[in-house]
Chains A and B, each alone.
Chain A
Amino acid sequence: MDLADVTRDIKRDDLLQMYYYLRLTRSLEDRISALYRQGRIVGGCYTSHGMEAIAVGYASALERDDFIAPFHRDMGAFLIRGFSPGEIIAQYLGKRTGPTKGKDGNVHMGDLKRGVIGFVSHLADNMPVAAGAALAFKMRGESRVVFAGTGDGGTSRGDFHEAMNLAAVRKLPVVFFCNNNQYAYSTPMRLQMAIADVVERAQAYGMPGEIVDGNDVAAVYLAAKRAIAYARAGKGPTFLEFKTMRMHGHSEHDPAKYVPQDLLDSWRKKDPILKTEQLLTQLKYGDEGYFRDIEARAKKEVEAGLEFAEHSPLPEGPEVLEGVFADQADSY
């Protein structure tokens, strides 16, 4: 990023806030990974380690009334939308105080009141859903926007293409993104698609596309801001390809030996937290002491969250029978 662009287009406090959320995401997910290794978390455990800038960047660019349909490596977006570390750890532990009350696990959290559409494991399923939410906003003449994403693998699915097409035809206020972390579980890009950049897909649907450095939170934020402004102006969807690298396995159980070590080594130097600290130092917005303070604050919040989650009750077995049908619809 050009420093002049950053100082012109991003407020100092916003950038510092993004740094805080990067740190909070890292601390929270490191803690969750540790709990998984200790056998205290059952089920899947997918992290955004090394990719935190994507969710933190785009979620920071949205307004309160907007909606997100996050990818499963977007922990920072949940935090920014108001999910607390305590609620999130409770979700991982299957506690009743988690957003799904134990009905679903890990990042499968949603809440209409906080503008989050609950994640579905079938990648790209929420892309048409996001287009439909944007359709509702457009039909009602609201200036709200939906930000929805999937991974490089998810862009191979039909729902991705159907959503892109539908949204482009009706010029819906939605921003689609791809977290291109180069591997879909073990499948590398070369076996996923015959194009070099996922962004090429945008052209086929008649929408603008942009490649963005997914490890640069300022770049993600500014690209998201542009796409959001375009959608809000009624010009239709944009597709953003955030280039990054998955630094852990698909899930914490996966040692990911299929990823070349030198590839990981080269990306480790581009760690989004490291990059943000370098940027803040250059801008004189923060120094080493400040970074350590924020890191300590994030860790403390995560520990308090863990305390809350561990002391929360588990659901009772018969609660499984509750909630199959709605008694009344939410009013939005």
Chain B
Amino acid sequence: MATSTVATGEVTYLEAISQALDEEMSRDERVFLMGEDIGIYGGAFRITEGFLAKYGEWRVLDTPLSESGFVGAAIGAAMMGLRPVVEMQFADFISCAFDQITEVAAKNHYRWGAAVPLVIRAPFGGGIHGGPFHSECPEGWFFHSPGLKLVAPSNPYDAKGLLKAAIRDPNPVIYFEHKFLYRRIKATLPQDDFIVPIGKAEVKRPGAGLSIITYGAMVHLALEAAQLLEKDGLDLEVVDLRTLIPLDKETIYGSVRKTGKVIVLHEDNKTGGIGAEIAALLAEECFDCLDGPVVRIAAPDTPVPFSTPLEEFFLPKTGDIVEAARKLAAY
């Protein structure tokens, strides 16, 4: 396998995902993969390149074009003791499997005690000119479905560690991997086995002036904005949620109690998004330490558009954060 040879050097976000899958499949024979074009072709993004030759067609299953069918099948296999990892070719297609995820996977343990140790990989997000059906951020749909865990790594370390943690978790986990980051972000990873625990946010940049709560590709925009504002004397704290469910409320509250001002940033549409929930939580739990309104920066309430100027307008930009942070700091 190509990716395992780069374990000692820098790896991309994409290679980190590939390494996590490879290592977990080697470690635990119950782990297997299902999805469209993941075997013979190696995956639309080549994440499982070489896996078919290494693990065979019964652990790397090319499925019919049938998201509901193969997610349902993965649920059945998971209940029987296996550890399936299914790939949505694009997160957008997860809508075809919505019913299996929200009604079967999410509720089985609650209803009748059957654990569903399932991972669904969902390549999400825009900035790649994918248009309305290859760029979505569907995490909001599942954020509202009790029984699911949701993670969204922003860097190769978290990508690898969260995927391993997801595979070892006894619950259904949707793993939102950001396509824009696949080949743009690199890091040197530890050689030893590690996980990133589900449910723990990380303060990526400590600061005292203002908190930015975000996840996924937006973490990098927040860090860029923080760097730009540093010379203005504005000290931004950037919190990378990493896990969306269960939400690390303590880290969020801790940051906001320190800074008193907060911007919630996400690439998903604004209305009813995760930012809305965080804003509501802050109003309930941190009202007395807020020194300004909770500000949301998110995509407008439209489908993700295709044409470059439209998509550029649609996606939150570093400039939006800089502008909002200055305004909020002056409040």
Contact = CB atoms under 8 A, between A and B. Distances in A.
Interface of A: 67, 99-100, 103-104, 108-112, 117-118, 120, 122, 125-139, 146, 158-159, 162-163, 165-166, 169-170, 323-332
Contact of A328 (B76, B99, B115): B115
B2 to A, nearest CB: 26
Task: Bin chain B's interface residue count.
Answer: 35 or more
B171 A325 contact: yes
A109 B80 contact: no
Interface stretch (B60-68, B276-284, B299-307): B60-68
A35 to B, nearest CB: 22
B25 interface: no
B109 to A, nearest CB: 5
Interface string B169-199: 0110000000000000000000000000000
Interface in B74-111: 74-82, 84, 99-100, 103-104, 107-111
B102 to A, nearest CB: 10
B69 A162 contact: yes
B114 A330 contact: yes
A165 B76 contact: no
B146 interface: yes
Contact of B114 (A110, A131, A139, A166): A110
24 contacts: A110-B113, A112-B113, A117-B114, A120-B103, A125-B99, A126-B72, A126-B104, A128-B73, A129-B72, A129-B73, A131-B72, A131-B76, A132-B76, A133-B76, A139-B77, A159-B100, A163-B73, A166-B63, A166-B69, A325-B109, A329-B81, A329-B115, A330-B81, A330-B113
Nearest to B107: A120
B80 A103 contact: no
A100 B82 CA distance: 23
Contact of B64 (A67, A130, A146, A162): A162
A330 B114 CA distance: 7
Contacts of A325: 109, 147, 149, 171
Contacts of A103: 110-112
A237 B111 CA distance: 29
A307 B110 CA distance: 27
Nearest to A331: B81
B212 interface: no
Contact of B70 (A125, A128, A326): A128
Contacts of B115: 326, 328-330
Given A324-B110, A325-B109, A128 B72 contact: yes
A267 B71 CA distance: 39
Contacts of A130: 76
A103 to B, nearest CB: 5
Given A139-B32, A165-B66, A99 B76 contact: no
A134 B108 contact: no
B82 A136 contact: yes
B58 interface: yes
Given A162-B68, A166-B64, 8 more contacts: A100-B111, A100-B113, A117-B76, A132-B77, A159-B68, A159-B100, A166-B73, A325-B171
Most buried by B among A111, A126, A138, A166: A166
Most buried by A among B80, B108, B110: B80
B316 interface: no
Contacts of A135: 73, 76-77
Given A103-B111, A122-B103, A169 B80 contact: no
Contact of B100 (A118, A125, A139, A165): A125
Interface in B293-329: none
A33 to B, nearest CB: 24
B99 A122 contact: yes
A125 B103 contact: yes
Contacts of B61: 170
A166 B61 CA distance: 11
Contact of B79 (A112, A128, A138, A159): A112
Contacts of A137: 80
Interface string B28-58: 0000100000000000000000000000001
B260 interface: no
Nearest to B96: A158
Contacts of A117: 76, 79, 114
B117 interface: yes
Nearest to B69: A162
Contacts of B82: 136, 139
A153 to B, nearest CB: 16
B147 A131 contact: no
A328 B109 CA distance: 11
Nearest to B245: A325
A308 B66 CA distance: 45
A110 B111 CA distance: 9
Contacts of B108: 110, 118
A57 B285 CA distance: 58
A166 B67 CA distance: 11
